[in-house]
Amino acid sequence: MKAILRALAIAALVVPFSIHAADALSEGTVKKVEAAAGRVTLAHGPIENIGMPPMTMMFKVKDPAMLKKVKEGDKVRFRVEEIGGTYTVVRIEAAK
């Protein structure tokens, strides 16, 4: 019984951090939107989940419809994942 309680206590501590890390958003500024090409250029801080340092870079977007929500100069929070060997924005939203 003690082993079960200990395992539950550890899971209660670890799971929230794992979920947060899996959903972590990075911050940046939209420099250019290329909706027809499905690309966005972002000046961004570190992108922890892929180990990328701050820089300005063009990214492919998973769904070009996401680009309707942003324009040049917008401060954004976003998520990049490596899909098929390409760094791809899978989520983007206005920074609050």
DSSP string, 5-19: HHHHHHHHHHHHHHH
Q: Write out the residue range of the structural domain in which residue 47 sits.
A: 25-94
36, containing H or E segment: none
Write down the pLDDT at residue 6: 63
Q: pLDDT tens for residues 40-56?
A: 999 999 999 999 999 99
Q: pLDDT tens for residues 64-76?
A: 999 999 999 999 9
How many domains does the chain divide into? Answer: 1
For the whole model, what pTM was predicted?
0.76
The answer to whether 33 and 51 are in contact (CB under 8 A) is no
31, containing H or E segment: strand 26-34
CATH of the domain at 34: 2.40.50.320
